[in-house]
Amino acid sequence: MKKNLIGALVFWGGLIFVSLLFAYKIFATTNEVSGQPANNRPNVDTNQEGLTGYLYGLHLIENAKAFKIFTAVGTLYKEPDDAVYLEDGGYKFHVPNTTTFYNFGFSWGNVISGTSSKPYGGLLSNLIKGSGSEIYAMDQGTRRHIESMVSFNAWQFKWETISFLSDAFIDTIPSSSFISQLTKSPNDPKVYLIENGKRRWITSMDVFKRNGYRWEYIGLVSDGLLNSKPEGAPVR
């Protein structure tokens, strides 16, 4: 009985020792390949999703001519002629002016000098669309869903000006309220009807109710977007 117990202890003790030694060898080899001590290495999930997320979070990549800074997706850079571009979905889109730049919530600190071999995708518009049916208007760093084609036409948006961007990039842009024919600024109590590309002030709550308008159909927009539409005749 005693012999059997000693034999079992020796067997299991040896097995544990060999396992620990094998684990140590693997650990040492991994550290040697990484070139970093284990306690200085990044804490990375070993599953595919965690590893992909970690690699995607390495924000700097080396281009042949320049370093480019990546946000979650998309690259902002400035070419030698000072034109600023967004690179997304295999294309580069020219940012035509500061209004568009700020409507997308871009920061000048993220614009890096460089060039791109990507094909030209056109001007970056304040109207954007991904692979789905939704069309968005960019407004002070947020995307506002244009809730119907009736509203699209009332605001006199143009289909040919829409920038088709990747879903991944669009998903990084915060969404806020929506675009409809009934609209107002959060800074002004006046409610407007957008019609034929003009903003028409609805002069009273009686007029509002008489026309069958409903408060929940009012989309909030910035002063800049609202005032970009010329004033039309009031709704009385």
Annotated domain spans of the chain? 2-33, 59-123, 127-227
Return the amino acid letter for 13: G
Q: What is the mean pLDDT of residues 134-163?
A: 97
The per-residue pLDDT for 117 is 81
Model confidence, pTM: 0.68
- With left for phi above 0 and alpha for psi between -120 and 50, is residue 38 left, alpha or beta? alpha
| pLDDT confidence bin for 19, thresholds 50/70/90 | very low
Integer angstrom CA distances of residue 25 from 16, 21, 93? 14, 6, 51
46 or 108, which is more confident? 108
Model pLDDT, residue 1: 52
Cα 104 vs. chain centroid, distance in angstroms? 9
Closest CA to 221 of 185, 197, 193: 185
